[in-house]
Amino acid sequence: MDGLLSLAAYVKVFVAMIVIVNPIGIVPVFVAMTANQTDAQRHNIARIAAITVGVVLLVSVVAGEKVLELFGISMAAFKVGGAILILLNAVAMMQAMPARDKQTPEEAREAEDKASIAVVPLGLPLLAGPGAMSTILIYASEKKAVPHMLAVCVVVIAVALAVWLALRIASRIGDKMSTTTLNVGTRIMGLLLAALAVEIFSSGIVELIPALGKPDVFRYGQ
């Protein structure tokens, strides 16, 4: 259909967003933060966190490019910068460490004292962090057509539902997930995320320096 990418492309966007949002990886954090909550309270927190993820990413899709234009930032430059940020996230995941762009140790300690943690820090920035916002904005900019934007919005809603489902069953699967299992899964997702970052970086750098896209640019004497 005109104005849309292929179905495989949108599946790729969904997988990429699941990897970078990492709802399964946040399960132990969610369980620890809601240890003193009732089941009803945990379900409410899960719902609000998922809504927060959806709203933040939808705003990024709809208004993100306009914000870049306001500051005079080209999409090519944003791709390069966003790819570097995503790569930093990937490196942290491959080391089984939380990325500091999502939450600093000081913010983590402050979160322990908050009465409500659904919006901050769970929804933003632990789930819908700068890396996730950058990624969805980059994919949304692939086409200017309304059908494409709507399709990306559907992907965002699907990601938010995945977050809700993961947090909803967190208390049941949290105790069954060993640290080793979680770390192995996190490292695998980090590797996938690194590949995604390289792909976005190469796309952005070729747009900034078109000569790099010519196959004979590095040939001697050319």
Inside any domain, residue 216: no
Closest CA to 86 of 193, 204, 202: 193
Inside any domain, residue 217: no
Are the C-beta atoms of 101 and 125 separated by less than 8 Å? yes
pLDDT for the residue numbered 109 = 57
| Integer Cα distance of 103 and 126 in angstroms | 7
What's the domain count of the chain?
1
DSSP state, residue 214: S
Are the C-beta atoms of 186 and 93 separated by less than 8 Å? yes
The stretches in the chain having pLDDT less than 50 are: 220-222
Closest CA to 137 of 69, 195, 193, 65: 65
Q: What is the pTM of this model?
A: 0.85
Q: Tokens standing for 179?
A: 């640290």
Tell me which residue range forms the domain holding 65: 7-208
Number of residues assigned to the chain: 222
Inside any domain, residue 178: yes
pLDDT for the residue numbered 106 = 60
Is residue 3 left, alpha or beta, with left meaning phi > 0 and alpha meaning psi from -120 to 50?
A: left
pLDDT in tens, 2-37: 789 999 999 999 999 999 999 988 888 898 888 888
Inside any domain, residue 100: yes
| Integer Cα distance of 92 and 101 in angstroms | 10
Inside any domain, residue 148: yes
Inside any domain, residue 89: yes
pLDDT for the residue numbered 101 = 55
pLDDT for the residue numbered 27 = 87
Inside any domain, residue 214: no
Inside any domain, residue 219: no
Instruction: Please list the alpha-helical segments (H only) found in the chain.
Output: 7-21, 27-33, 39-70, 75-94, 105-111, 130-140, 146-168, 170-174, 179-208
pLDDT for the residue numbered 31 = 87
